[in-house]
């Protein structure tokens, strides 16, 4: 059973969380898929309210759900998306060349999931280590030959790794910074593990894209914070890490890949300057950008409810694809249930046969969805919509 603790001050700088952003009410944990024999039992639900620090402008939830309850037995496996596997392989190929990695240079990944990324380094003969708190997911990586520690990461874990293996030439933290309840301990650990000469590489969905594209469904309990370059540079700098390079990626509806180090590096000034200027022009360090987002969310939900009502009146059978966390936020915010959407397909067999939290929509295999021939399919993980459309066409 998970719990949630209310916070009243910024988890980074201690500033007041006085600026409202997006209040989605009480919701179940987005990855807490329900066994059929528990269908009649109510889901534990916790407040899902994103607010903004008035001092550093870090967007964060005002309740922190227990990380052990979320990540100990985790349902997300990175390797089930071919798009994501290709992204990981390209990253590894480029990182090996850029950082001149070889048999003597150690690579670490924090929140390494099922080994989807590090397996590329293993294949290249580069020593590596994954740190992954979800034992069920880490077991898949270990079975695939990816060295993995089952642990939450922070300063203590970083010091233990350094004592055993030395500093890492490259520390990868892709799509994990949002998942960290204790920022000080986690980022401090990244700095310790990288040491005086290593590089920290972080990928995180860009807050500005979330706002501009109304990506409210990426707000859920395991995402404790939502990252702008403005906020990320402050957090990294507090631990002696200077951002020296940045790439804008199409993943997750637009992400930032930030490279930082304690050592002075050649700076890619153009990309940093461009994103800094974009954020400043949008008003990233002022309240106006964030106010009004909640009303836009209501508009999106209202439009979907009208579409679903029309489909129901016309007798159309609606299904969905992707038992993803973002889909659960969307469906529960819209008040959708199994009477509205008959099934949701997912490639992950660990989800199949279960029910979505809150909505109680049954999860089936893609083959089952295709055989059912619904009139409409709602693609919930919109970030891989092209991949999904090709699969079910």
For all residues of the chain together, what is the average pLDDT?
Answer: 93
| Rounded mean pLDDT, 300-323 | 96
- Residue 65 is predicted with a pLDDT of 83
- Closest residue by Cα to residue 308 from 329, 284, 337: 337
Distance CA 97, CA 219 (A): 35
Nearest to 150 by CA among 119, 175, 108, 113: 113
- Among 84-98, 211-225, 298-312, whose mean pLDDT is lowest? 84-98
Phi, psi of 192 (to 5 degrees): -65, -45
Per-residue model confidence (pLDDT) at position 392: 81
pLDDT digits (tens, 9 = 90+) for 254-275: 999 999 999 877 777 889 999 9
Best CA proximity match to 75, nearest among 36, 17, 35? 35
Is residue 149 very low, low, confident or very high in pLDDT (cuts 50, 70, 90)?
very high
- Give the pLDDT confidence score for residue 1 in this predicted structure: 44
Confidence band for 73, pLDDT divided at 50, 70 and 90: low
pLDDT in the model for residue 69: 56
pLDDT (0 to 100) of residue 68: 57
User: Residue 70 — very low, low, confident or very high, per pLDDT cuts 50/70/90?
Assistant: low
What is the distance between the alpha carbons of residues 219 and 286, in angstroms, rounded to a whole number? 21
Helix (H) or strand (E) holding 165: helix 155-165
pLDDT bucket at 201, cuts 50 / 70 / 90: very high
* Buried residues in 284-299 as b, exposed as e (16+ CB within 10 A): beeeebbeebbeebee
pLDDT band at 74 (very low <50, low <70, confident <90, very high): low
Tokens of 93: 């190929």
Higher-pLDDT residue of 75, 159: 159
pLDDT class for 391, splitting at 50, 70, 90? confident
Please report, rounded to a whole number, the percentage of residues in the chain having pLDDT higher than 70.
Answer: 95
The pLDDT assigned to 357 comes to 96
3-state secondary structure of 52: strand
Would strands 128-131 and 107-110 be described as parallel, antiparallel, or unpaired?
parallel
Q: Exposed, middle or buried: residue 250 (CB in 10 Å: 0-12, 13-18, 19+)?
A: exposed
The pTM score is 0.91
CB-CB contact of 219 with 193 (8 Å):
no
């Amino acid at each position: 059973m998970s719990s949630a603790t209310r916070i009243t001050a910024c988890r980074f700088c201690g500033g007041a969380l006085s600026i409202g952003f997006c209040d989605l009410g009480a919701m179940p944990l987005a990855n807490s898929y329900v066994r059929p024999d528990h269908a009649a039992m109510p889901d534990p639900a916790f407040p899902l309210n994103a607010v903004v620090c008035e001092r550093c402008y870090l967007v964060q939830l005002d309740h922190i759900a227990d990380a052990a309850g979320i990540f100990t037995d985790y349902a997300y496996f990175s390797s089930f998306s071919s798009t994501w596997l290709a992204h990981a392989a390209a990253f590894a190929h480029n990182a090996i060349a850029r950082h001149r990695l070889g048999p003597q240079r150690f690579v670490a990944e924090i929140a390494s999931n099922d080994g989807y990324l590090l397996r590329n380094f293993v294949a290249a003969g580069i020593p590596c280590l994954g740190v992954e708190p979800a034992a069920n997911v880490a077991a898949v990586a270990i079975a695939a030959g990816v060295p993995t520690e089952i642990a939450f990461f922070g300063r203590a874990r970083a010091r233990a790794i350094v004592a055993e293996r030395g500093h890492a030439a490259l520390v990868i933290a892709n799509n994990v910074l949002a998942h960290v309840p204790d920022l000080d301990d986690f980022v401090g650990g990244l700095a310790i593990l990288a040491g005086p000469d290593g590089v920290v590489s972080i990928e995180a969905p860009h807050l500005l894209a979330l706002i501009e594209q109304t990506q409210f469904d990426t707000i859920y309990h395991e995402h404790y914070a939502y990252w702008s370059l403005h906020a990320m540079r402050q957090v990294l700098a507090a631990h002696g890490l200077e951002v020296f390079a940045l790439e804008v990626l199409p993943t997750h509806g637009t992400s930032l890949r930030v490279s930082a180090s304690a050592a002075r590096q050649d700076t890619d000034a153009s990309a940093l300057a461009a994103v800094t200027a974009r954020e400043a022009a949008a008003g990233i360090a002022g309240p106006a950008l964030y106010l009004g987002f909640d009303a836009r969310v209501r508009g999106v939900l209202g439009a979907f409810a009208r579409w679903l009502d029309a489909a129901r009146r016309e007798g159309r059978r609606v299904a969905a694809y992707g038992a993803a966390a973002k889909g659960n936020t969307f469906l529960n915010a819209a008040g959708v249930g199994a009477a509205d959407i008959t099934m949701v397909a997912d490639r992950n067999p660990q989800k199949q046969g279960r029910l979505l939290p809150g909505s109680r929509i049954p999860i089936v295999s893609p083959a089952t969805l295709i055989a059912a021939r619904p009139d409409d399919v709602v693609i919930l993980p919109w970030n891989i919509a092209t991949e999904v459309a090709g699969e079910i066409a």
